[in-house]
Amino acid sequence: MNNYSWGGLVLHNNTERLDLWLSVSHFHSSVNDKLEQALLGQYDISLKEFYVLKFISSSPCKELRLQQLQEKVGLSQSATSRLVDRMEAPSVGALERHTCTLDRRGIYTRITALGEQKYLQALATVNQVLNDELQRHGILTELDHFVRQLLK
What is the pLDDT at residue 79?
A: 94
What is the pLDDT at residue 1?
A: 52
What is the pLDDT at residue 130?
A: 94
Give the domain CATH number at 108: 1.10.10.10
- Residue 21 within any structural domain of the chain: no
- Residue 54 within any structural domain of the chain: yes
Residues 58 and 39: their CA atoms lie apart, in Å, by: 19
Residues sharing a CB contact under 8 Å with residue 95, sequence separation 6 or more, in sequence order:
52, 56, 84, 87, 88, 109, 110, 111, 112, 115
- Residue 124 within any structural domain of the chain: yes
How far is residue 52 from each of residues 1, 69, 117, measured CA to CA in Å? 46, 7, 14
| Residue numbers of the chain with a pLDDT score lower than 70 | 1-13, 100-105
- Residue 31 within any structural domain of the chain: no
- Domains held by the chain: number: 1
- Residue 40 within any structural domain of the chain: no
